Chains A and B, each alone.
Chain A
Amino acid sequence: MKILVAIKRVADPDNANKVKPTADKVDTTGLEWKPNPFDEYALETALRLTENGKNNKVRQGEVVVVTIGNKDTETQLRSALATGADRAIRVEAEDTDLDGRLVAAALKSVVDAEKPDLVLLGKQVVDGDSNSVGQMLAQLLDYPMATFAATIQEEADGRLLVGREVDGGVLSLRLTTPAIITVDLRVVAPTSVYSKHTDAGFKYSDGVRFAALPAIMKAKKKPLDVKALADLAPGKTNGSSYFRFEAPPARAAGVKVPDVATLVNKLATEAKAL
């Protein structure tokens, strides 16, 4: 199976206190950057779907990672290559020039050229939380789509059985490839993803795998192509504009209540939670 994984870097969510919104933009000077966590889950999913799932794993497919960003975003691509991706593509652009529609249009051109069996994305990016690119890309490509995937099982005929966690249960979808899946948090649990080569009952380590240190060195030598945004999305420009940014209000101090009765009373009358 050939899989295309789209990844985006985000300002380290652990450093949220360093973010300084001004009236017209979020100042990103000096912030540390990390891959969007859901995109890391998408990459882990892609690796699990393209290997035999035994200890001493053997690759059984190809994983291509793509990002849209400036030269600095190659750090996140190299890190994906170190984790196990085979090739990388960077589409040159600045974050401020992009919106979901433009990103989806550029990714469509990449898909048209690469012809993967599956496109994997995180369900959303933790900076803007738009949750739109996967859905728009499915529309542009006219591919079957499953969002918020928690489990993926590749069946013998190559179709993908996807479990989506929805309110009150799991919704199962069977997709014919080529297809698009956006993944949720639990897709990296030990038994969430099985390729058709993986032994039933094989358990992965929980979470996203570590890049082996020797692989970090070798990642420098893996191919990384750079493409121009104008070539991939000709004539298209950023259609969204931001007009104001505000920091969330500081949390007010809590109150101590003397006893349980007061607490229940406050919950009922002030918070109206009961």
Chain B
Amino acid sequence: MAHTVNRYKADIREFHFVLFEQFKIQELFGKAPFDDWSEEVAVAIIDEVHRFGTEVLGPLNAVGDEQGCRLENGQVLTPDGFKEAWQKMYEAGFKSLSISPEFGGQGAPTGLSAITTELSSGPNTAFEMYPGLTIGAAELIEAFGTEEQREHYCGRMFGGTWGGTMCLTEAQAGSDVGEASTTAVKNADGSYAIKGSKIFISGGDQDLTENIIHMVLARTPGAPKGTKGLSLFIVPKHRTDAEGNVTGPNDVSVSAIEHKMGINGSSTCQLAFGDNDACIGYLLGTEETRGMRQMFQMMNYARVGVGLQGLAVASTAYLNALEYAKERKQGPSVRNFKSADAPRVPIIEHPDVRRMLLDMKARVEGIRALIAKGASHLDRANSLKHTGGSESEISYHEGQLELMTPLIKAYSSDQAFRICETAIQVHGGAGYTRDFPVEQYCRDSKIFSIYEGTNHIQALDLVARKLNLGGGQYAMALLQDIGKFVEKHQASEVFRKSIGKLSEAHGAVSSTAMQFMTWFQAGEMERVPLVANRFLKMMSEMVIGWLLLDAAMIACERQEALDQEHPDWSFYEGKKHAARYFALNVLPEVVASAETIKLGDRSPLDIPDAAFATV
């Protein structure tokens, strides 16, 4: 029997720190486009979303995992309680936060909506995918649809009456999306006949909404091969009249649902469009072959969304491990290891458990800061556009977000799985059982490094595209920002050694980036993918090391005004230890990675296929 109690844990103080103390979102409040926002409102919203997550979504997490989704008579049924949770969520306007006021939303700054996404995804990451993808699909229509399309779909999707999906993948077109073979042939009335099949469609069918609007990538007759020839179509599950009433089926059927390692509460569907030649789609906007460009504009935020999923699950895994370590007694303290009747101590007193806990803490808080930095750049660019900021300032912020996006997606999702694995290790054998939530977190988190562009695709995006964006100026600006920080704080008494390690990591990342340039110029292209993932990790850890040290500097300053009894004193002390641990235990690996890359080993390329194994 699945648990129906909430196991989600969040440290709300941490959100306030990131939002108000480190990235100072309040500087943007009270002026366009965030005129109506205040610190008090943001805090109240965080509290309410946290309450909803722990009271409504959290108790359904293990239920969703154990029951999974079922396909009965062509209809996907979601786990018990999902439908009620969906209704409650939309009744309370919980999904209106980031939506534009035009569609009844509140136009919240991304820094805040990122936190509310974490607070919804952490309690139940499988459930959160249904509204998440619905919003993504609706935002595509909002951005590129005709006036009529916006009018017909957006309000109903943002309001939760209709769901939405993104249909890219086909059996032969996964990472290689340009191979998509679904076709769209124009009908006399201007609509299109859609035919083809898509796989791995999250939320491809469900019983939460009256209708589902699929955003389908398909090729029109005569369109070029590859991604350039793809167009995006709005394909509803059911046909509707002008008032949005369902009038009949639209020849979209579910061929099967996947049985997966994790996120079992989220339906993953194979969809068949036009098996009976009666599936109608509508071109998004007015121009064909714009599909990939349209999709990509949205994909960037979807990638940040996956980074948030990773953070959300990793964070609750860490906090559950922490709670367990404080309660579980086993063995004597290492200081009494020779005495057979020394008292048994909670395992948090054992050095290796402490190391694992601090390792998880530093990574979780570092990733949260990395995502908050990305969100802050987006909000600042947005604010500057509304308040007459200069082109160069706006472009700086937009460029930083572009640069951070692959780091956020890939580093967070890679680490999430590893952090969950560490959380299981802290629990020992108990963590391997279903009595504790960490094994589910671990299974749920594996998909994050795969979907929405695998992490290798993120690494290629970083080295081949983002580093050179704007002639390399954004990467230069980032390195300069870190250089300035090092210069400002290198004399710090408490953090001298840590700042030194940051400075070395900075040097290592810069020289590796230069190395890529020479490879590109020498035409040694195949070396780049071999080390791209390693470089993404180096760069992410450099940025995170910097952000954790930045937080530690703020913590030092704030601590001066407090006495040790104040609860915030310990909070700030934690920030200092996380930064120092990361700088002295993780940043040296950045330097080692640069050395490894310099060795220029080609063995994965040189080994003959037949030499991998004799089977």
Query: Which A residues form the contact surface with B (CB < 8 A)?
Result: 18, 20, 27, 29-31, 55, 75, 78-79, 82, 205, 207, 209-217, 219-220
How distant is the Cα of A116 from the Cα of B94 in the complex, in angstroms?
Answer: 33
- Partner among B88, B93, B94, B566 whose Cβ is within 8 Å of the Cβ of A29: B566
* Chain A residues with CB under 8 A of B27: none
How distant is the Cα of A219 from the Cα of B94 in the complex, in angstroms?
Answer: 16
* Chain B residues with CB under 8 A of A209: 92
Minimum C-beta distance from A171 to chain B (A): 31
A18 touches B567 (CB 8 A): yes
Stretch at the interface among B48-56, B74-82, B529-537: B48-56
B565 touches A210 (CB 8 A): no
B38 touches A30 (CB 8 A): no
Minimum C-beta distance from B340 to chain A (A): 18
B106 touches A214 (CB 8 A): yes
Q: If the complex has contacts A210-B51, A210-B52, A210-B92, are A216 and B45 also in contact, measured as CB distance less than 8 A?
A: yes
Given contacts A79-B44, A211-B48, 8 further A-B contacts (CB under 8 A): A20-B565, A31-B567, A78-B40, A82-B48, A213-B45, A215-B93, A217-B37, A219-B44
A213 touches B96 (CB 8 A): yes
Q: If the complex has contacts A207-B55, A220-B41, are A212 and B93 also in contact, measured as CB distance less than 8 A?
A: yes
How distant is the Cα of A216 from the Cα of B39 in the complex, in angstroms?
Answer: 12
* Chain B residues with CB under 8 A of A212: 91-94
* Chain B residues with CB under 8 A of A207: 55
How distant is the Cα of A75 from the Cα of B37 in the complex, in angstroms?
Answer: 15
Judged by a CB distance under 8 angstroms, whether B36 is at the interface is yes
B56 to chain A: closest residue by CB: A210
A205 touches B88 (CB 8 A): yes
Minimum C-beta distance from B91 to chain A (A): 8
Complex interface bits, B75-115 against A, C-beta within 8 A gives 1, otherwise 0: 00000000000001001111011000000101000000000
Minimum C-beta distance from B393 to chain A (A): 28
Minimum C-beta distance from A27 to chain B (A): 8
Minimum C-beta distance from B10 to chain A (A): 13
How distant is the Cα of A205 from the Cα of B81 in the complex, in angstroms?
Answer: 13
B48 touches A30 (CB 8 A): no
Judged by a CB distance under 8 angstroms, whether B66 is at the interface is no
Judged by a CB distance under 8 angstroms, whether B568 is at the interface is yes
How distant is the Cα of A203 from the Cα of B412 in the complex, in angstroms?
Answer: 42
B106 touches A210 (CB 8 A): no
B93 to chain A: closest residue by CB: A212
* Chain A residues with CB under 8 A of B88: 205, 210
A217 touches B106 (CB 8 A): yes
B97 touches A213 (CB 8 A): yes
Interface centre among B36, B37, B93, B97 (most CB of A within 10 A): B93
* Chain B residues with CB under 8 A of A217: 36-37, 41, 106
* Chain B residues with CB under 8 A of A210: 48, 51-52, 88, 92, 94
How distant is the Cα of A219 from the Cα of B52 in the complex, in angstroms?
Answer: 19
A74 to chain B: closest residue by CB: B40
How distant is the Cα of A215 from the Cα of B55 in the complex, in angstroms?
Answer: 20
How distant is the Cα of A159 from the Cα of B96 in the complex, in angstroms?
Answer: 40
Minimum C-beta distance from A180 to chain B (A): 29
How distant is the Cα of A27 from the Cα of B563 in the complex, in angstroms?
Answer: 13
How distant is the Cα of A30 from the Cα of B44 in the complex, in angstroms?
Answer: 18
A211 touches B566 (CB 8 A): no
B36 to chain A: closest residue by CB: A217
B84 to chain A: closest residue by CB: A205
How distant is the Cα of A183 from the Cα of B38 in the complex, in angstroms?
Answer: 34
* Chain B residues with CB under 8 A of A215: 93
Interface centre among A30, A210, A215 (most CB of B within 10 A): A210
* Chain A residues with CB under 8 A of B568: 30
Complex interface bits, B564-586 against A, C-beta within 8 A gives 1, otherwise 0: 01111000000000000000000
Interface centre among A20, A31, A55, A214 (most CB of B within 10 A): A214
Minimum C-beta distance from A207 to chain B (A): 7
Q: If the complex has contacts A212-B92, A215-B93, are A30 and B55 also in contact, measured as CB distance less than 8 A?
A: no
* Interface size range of chain B in the complex: 20 to 34
* Chain A residues with CB under 8 A of B48: 82, 210-211, 213, 216
Q: If the complex has contacts A78-B44, A220-B41, are A213 and B106 also in contact, measured as CB distance less than 8 A?
A: yes
B566 touches A214 (CB 8 A): no
A213 to chain B: closest residue by CB: B93
* Chain B residues with CB under 8 A of A79: 44, 47
Q: List 18 A-B contacts (CB under 8 A).
A: A18-B567, A29-B565, A29-B566, A30-B566, A55-B91, A209-B92, A210-B51, A211-B92, A212-B91, A213-B49, A213-B97, A214-B104, A215-B93, A216-B48, A217-B36, A217-B41, A220-B36, A220-B40
B92 touches A216 (CB 8 A): no
How distant is the Cα of A6 from the Cα of B69 in the complex, in angstroms?
Answer: 46
A216 touches B565 (CB 8 A): no
Q: If the complex has contacts A210-B51, A210-B88, A210-B92, are A216 and B566 also in contact, measured as CB distance less than 8 A?
A: no
How distant is the Cα of A214 from the Cα of B106 in the complex, in angstroms?
Answer: 7
How distant is the Cα of A55 from the Cα of B94 in the complex, in angstroms?
Answer: 17
Complex interface bits, B204-238 against A, C-beta within 8 A gives 1, otherwise 0: 00000000000000000000000000000000000
* Chain B residues with CB under 8 A of A205: 88
Minimum C-beta distance from B248 to chain A (A): 27
B38 to chain A: closest residue by CB: A220
* Chain A residues with CB under 8 A of B44: 75, 78-79, 82, 211, 216, 219
Q: If the complex has contacts A78-B40, A82-B44, A220-B38, are A213 and B92 also in contact, measured as CB distance less than 8 A?
A: yes
Minimum C-beta distance from A78 to chain B (A): 7
How distant is the Cα of A79 from the Cα of B47 in the complex, in angstroms?
Answer: 10
Minimum C-beta distance from B359 to chain A (A): 25
B88 to chain A: closest residue by CB: A205
Minimum C-beta distance from A251 to chain B (A): 14
How distant is the Cα of A216 from the Cα of B92 in the complex, in angstroms?
Answer: 11
Closest 9 CB pairs of A and B: A212-B93, A30-B567, A210-B92, A212-B92, A30-B566, A213-B93, A214-B93, A216-B44, A211-B48
- Partner among B40, B45, B565, B566 whose Cβ is within 8 Å of the Cβ of A75: B40
How distant is the Cα of A207 from the Cα of B45 in the complex, in angstroms?
Answer: 19
How distant is the Cα of A78 from the Cα of B231 in the complex, in angstroms?
Answer: 48
* Chain B residues with CB under 8 A of A220: 36, 38, 40-41
B565 touches A214 (CB 8 A): no
A17 to chain B: closest residue by CB: B567
Minimum C-beta distance from A253 to chain B (A): 10
Interface centre among A18, A55, A217 (most CB of B within 10 A): A217
A27 to chain B: closest residue by CB: B565
* Chain B residues with CB under 8 A of A27: 565
A212 to chain B: closest residue by CB: B93
Minimum C-beta distance from A12 to chain B (A): 10
* Chain A residues with CB under 8 A of B36: 217, 220
Minimum C-beta distance from A88 to chain B (A): 14
How distant is the Cα of A152 from the Cα of B44 in the complex, in angstroms?
Answer: 30
How distant is the Cα of A30 from the Cα of B568 in the complex, in angstroms?
Answer: 7
* Chain A residues with CB under 8 A of B93: 212-215
Minimum C-beta distance from B373 to chain A (A): 25
How distant is the Cα of A78 from the Cα of B49 in the complex, in angstroms?
Answer: 16
* Chain A residues with CB under 8 A of B94: 210, 212-213
Minimum C-beta distance from B90 to chain A (A): 10
- Partner among B37, B51, B52, B96 whose Cβ is within 8 Å of the Cβ of A214: B96
Complex interface bits, B9-39 against A, C-beta within 8 A gives 1, otherwise 0: 0000000000000000000000000001110
How distant is the Cα of A27 from the Cα of B97 in the complex, in angstroms?
Answer: 37
